[in-house]
A and B are shown apart, each in its own frame.
Chain A
Amino acid sequence: MSDASVLRILWIAVVLLILLIALTLFYLVERKVRRTRHRQQVAEAVKMFAAPDSPLADYLDSGKESRKLSASGEGMRREALEEALLNRLAVSASHTERERIYKFAAGYFGEEYEYLLNRRRWSDRMNVLLHIEKFKMVGLKATILDRLDRLGKQSKQDDERFLLIRTLASFQAEETLGYMEVAAARFSELQLMQVLRPLRDELLDRLIRDFDGLPIRIRRCLLDTLRISNARTTEVLELLERSIRSEDKESRIRALKALANFGYMTPEAADYFESRMAGDEEIIWPERLMHARLAGAVREERFMPHLERMMADPSYEVRREAAASLAQYRNGLERIGRIAEGHPDRFARDMAVETLERRAYERNVG
């Protein structure tokens, strides 16, 4: 290659690079200016809506939509309203106000959200789904189901699939139950729990009734969800007591934990539980930990010797839990005191001392 042609190539490269840099700058500044102006307008509008005499405040107080409020503008107005309403939702807890916000959102954003749900841009769809969920726009259920059906099978669509199903669940849509298999195969446990958590009444009852037919991952997460949501019906109790006998270790641990949170168990279940505590079967420490916790939650005299034994458990966590549980019992602290003085196991003594110290502190502060 001659010097001249090398030079020509280099010059072209230089010009090209400068052009690219200029283009980047232009795009960057244009985007920035537009965004800044837009954000400013939105911020002003949000402030306007937040004022006590704004049309929005009027509506939320009275429930009557004024023309001023629905005099629609362009995208900026939507964003401002969204933000103003979300702020309201975040701070105010009044039921009627919430209902009014949902009603207004349904009427005002419905059409646009439906359009946005099918946009090509991924982040648009994700953002709108988050808003649909926040505003509980049940009217869009059909669109969401449609979207779910048309979603590809690839795993890269799973983020969107998850949001769609979680939104369905938040609507209490019975179609949600039809997606349990999909969810179990594709979602993480914490995601599954986010899907299960909003389900209530009728739908929850159905899940409990059909428990044994559910995928194992759903079953485990359902046990956790019942604990977190403090579900307290006889059906739940029956399910939990059944699950502490489960073949599946994970299910057992979670059922024990939920039962401890429930704070009650039937005598039959307690018999089984005691036999399990006393049994000489090898039990892993997380399950022993839950045994200790449950024994502290239901407080029956007959569990006390087992708790005392657990204070010398090889696992620190179990010892700590056993001590905390024992302290719940009447005379529990005295027994811990006795352990502190004369238990043959040093770890048990240490744990007893530690527990007593903490109790003493809590009494002083509380």
Chain B
Amino acid sequence: MSGTWVDVLMEAHRILGILIIIYVAMSAAVYLFLTAAAAFSLWRDRDLSEIQYSTVLETELVPPLSIIVPAYNEEINIVGSVRSLLSINYKQFEIVVVNDGSKDKTVEIMLEEFDMTEVKGRVPFSGLKKETKPLRAVYRSLRHPNLVLVDKENGGKADALNVGINVCRYPYFVSLDGDTVLDTDAFIKVVKPIMDARPGEEIVATGGSVGIANGSAVDSGYLNSESVRLSNKPIVVMQVVEYLRAFLMGRIGLSRYNMLLLVSGAFGVFKKSWVIEVGGYETGTIGEDMELTVRLHELIRRKKSKARIVYVPEPVCWTEAPESFTILKRQRTRWHRGLYESLNSHKKMILNPRYGRVGMLSMPFFLFIELLGPLVELLGYFTIIFGFFLGRINIEISLLLALVMLLFGSLMSTMSVLFEEWRFHNYNRISDTFRLFFYALSESFWYRPVMTWWRAEGLFQAIRGKKHGWGEMTRVNVLGANKKTGTIPGTNPGVNPVPPEKKE
């Protein structure tokens, strides 16, 4: 009796082992492919001069943009954020602040600070066919005619964005996330693909890379590449490497074949008519940015359109990364739940040839490698340990196999550090490069297992159906923007350390 049991176990273990090896080989192939695609495009663009932007900016020929800023309990930061947005390096834009039923004095402070008066009667309305929470009032600043404040009842970030879409005037809008620090030329960089679109080619959305601001000097809400510094904290450096890999490898590769599934909510430009056609942001989800991008893809395919969703490798905005494990964990489990939700609500696209490359390649990529990856990885560790006890594993082989995997991961990470150097050279000190490199090497040995565990946890939470609350709405705080108010010129040290303040 016990003999057959052992046999069954052994057999199961063998099959599992083979499956895992196949999985690993395939995901390695995918990563290699993405790396090659990214390398190809970055190699072409390496060391391209920044004056390409200044020339365009001088010509004043830029498409007008509506910037939507959702705000929830932002009385401390909102004025600074809006001020720094008002001074952006761009010619034609409007700012639509949407107060999402804040319980504090966000509205009062805005009205006071920018001399806003109520706009009576009907305001422009883009015709989004989606129920939004009722508007209380719309105000326009008398001092800055391009600044609008919409006061509405609380409905969450997606709802606030939908209201912003309804009220804004221009054909392209920018969704701006909380705690985002902008690059001084962020808008022109992200808009460039729209400006350069070939006749007949429509750009539905563009987004740029997101960098990590911790450790850098933020000057009145902006951060440009000269002031980027690498943080001293290992956990932050690790995230820098992670972001570089995710953006420079993953997204360039996917965008090249128009398979980009995620335009980051931190900073994305969208064509309003398309977003309205797909019905705006979905309320009540965690990953409303990914959710929207997927639906845009769906519509593109359905209309058999040549429209594109484009990714700009330039770092256009900077965000503050968690510096403690507790908060990092919360963030990662939440991201994973968001991924699960988006994929779950678009199940029918996965491996559906009707959706072309997005359905056949990028959705499965996100499902099998991004979503289920952690699970398989855990299973792999488990198989090894289990096999060890079953006594049927060649320890030398398993250890070597593990080593190969880890080294492969490290190679991918170091390549992304190299890509950064080719194209942007944001980390200019040799010591920074060394640190990035060695942390990238070490990633597989400590950071990655932890991430794997948390992401698996997030997956389980998602399957169990954990809901997310309003507490998770990110705050609008263009970092350090509020730092300048109240400081006498001259006493400002010029270098504002990023405040260690946390949200979530």
Contact = CB atoms under 8 A, between A and B. Distances in A.
A173 interface: no
Interface string A171-186: 0000000000000111
B61 A194 contact: yes
A186 B417 CA distance: 35
Interface string A328-357: 000000000000000000110111011001
B2 to A, nearest CB: 27
Contact of A7 (B62, B145, B195, B397): B397
Contact of B421 (A13, A31, A358): A31
Interface string A1-31: 0010011001101100110110011011101
A29 B434 contact: yes
28 contacts: A3-B394, A3-B397, A17-B410, A17-B411, A24-B414, A28-B418, A32-B421, A122-B45, A126-B48, A126-B49, A126-B52, A127-B47, A130-B49, A130-B55, A131-B51, A134-B51, A158-B198, A184-B199, A188-B197, A190-B61, A194-B61, A316-B124, A346-B121, A354-B117, A357-B142, A358-B145, A361-B115, A361-B117
A42 B245 CA distance: 31
Nearest to B430: A32
A65 interface: no
A190 to B, nearest CB: 4
A187 B201 CA distance: 10
Contact of A191 (B52, B117, B196, B428): B196
A86 B196 CA distance: 25
A127 B49 CA distance: 6
Given A21-B414, A86-B51, A158-B198, 14 more contacts: A10-B403, A14-B404, A25-B414, A31-B421, A32-B433, A123-B48, A126-B52, A131-B51, A159-B196, A187-B198, A190-B62, A193-B61, A194-B61, A346-B121
B61 A347 contact: no
Contacts of A186: 198-199
A292 to B, nearest CB: 15
A188 B400 contact: no
Contacts of B49: 126-127, 130-131
Interface in A98-120: none
A191 B124 CA distance: 30
A36 interface: yes
B378 interface: no
Contacts of B196: 159, 162, 188, 190-191
Interface in B400-443: 400-401, 403-404, 407-408, 410-411, 414-415, 417-418, 421, 425, 428-430, 433-434, 437, 441
A351 B121 contact: yes
A340 to B, nearest CB: 11
A151 interface: no
Contacts of A86: 51
Interface of B: 44-49, 51-52, 55-56, 59-63, 115, 117, 119-125, 140, 142-143, 145, 169, 195-199, 394, 396-397, 400-401, 403-404, 407-408, 410-411, 414-415, 417-418, 421, 425, 428-430, 433-434, 437, 441
Given A3-B397, A17-B407, A217-B199, A228 B60 contact: yes
Contact of A347 (B115, B122, B425, B433): B122
A233 B261 CA distance: 51
A197 B196 CA distance: 16
Contacts of A20: 411
Contact of A28 (B44, B394, B421): B421
Contacts, number: 142
Nearest to A158: B198
A359 B61 CA distance: 30
B439 to A, nearest CB: 13
B124 A25 contact: no
A35 interface: yes
B60 A358 contact: no
Contacts of A250: none
A218 to B, nearest CB: 11
A362 B418 CA distance: 54
A36 B427 CA distance: 11
Nearest to B48: A123
Contacts of A194: 56, 59, 61
A9 B285 CA distance: 47
A10 B401 contact: yes
A27 B46 CA distance: 15
A353 B400 contact: no
Nearest to A162: B196
A28 B437 contact: yes
A18 B430 contact: no
B169 A317 contact: yes
Given A28-B418, A32-B421, A33-B430, A350 B120 contact: yes
Interface of A: 3, 6-7, 10-11, 13-14, 17-18, 20-21, 24-25, 27-29, 31-33, 35-36, 39, 86, 122-123, 126-127, 130-131, 133-134, 155, 158-159, 162, 184-188, 190-191, 193-194, 197, 217, 228, 315-317, 346-347, 349-351, 353-354, 357-358, 361-362, 365
Top 4 closest pairs, chain A to chain B, by CB: A350-B121, A17-B407, A10-B400, A350-B120
Most chain B Cβ neighbours within 10 Å, of A130, A158, A190, A350: A190
Nearest to A225: B61
Nearest to B124: A316
B428 A354 contact: no
A18 B408 CA distance: 9
A134 B54 CA distance: 11
Contacts of A10: 397, 400-401, 403-404
Contact of A35 (B142, B401, B411, B425): B425
B28 to A, nearest CB: 11
Name the residue in B122, B408, B415 with the highest tally of chain A Cβ atoms < 10 Å from its Cβ.
Answer: B122
A123 B44 contact: yes
B142 A347 contact: no
Nearest to A185: B199
B197 to A, nearest CB: 5
Contacts of A29: 430, 433-434
B404 A347 contact: no
A317 B433 contact: no
Contacts of B401: 10
B90 to A, nearest CB: 14
B415 A24 contact: yes
A186 B63 CA distance: 19
Contacts of A11: 400
A12 to B, nearest CB: 10
B404 A357 contact: no
A21 B441 contact: yes
Which among B44, B407, B417 has the highest number of chain A CB atoms within 10 Å? B407
B110 to A, nearest CB: 16
Nearest to A353: B120
B57 to A, nearest CB: 12
A282 B484 CA distance: 52
Contacts of B400: 7, 10-11, 14
B199 A187 contact: yes
B421 A21 contact: no
Contacts of B61: 190, 193-194, 197, 228
Contact of B142 (A197, A351, A353, A361): A361
A131 to B, nearest CB: 8
A324 to B, nearest CB: 10
A19 B417 CA distance: 17
Contact of A130 (B52, B125, B396): B52
Contacts of B407: 14, 17-18, 21
Contacts of A349: 121
A45 to B, nearest CB: 17
B410 A21 contact: yes
A28 B430 CA distance: 10
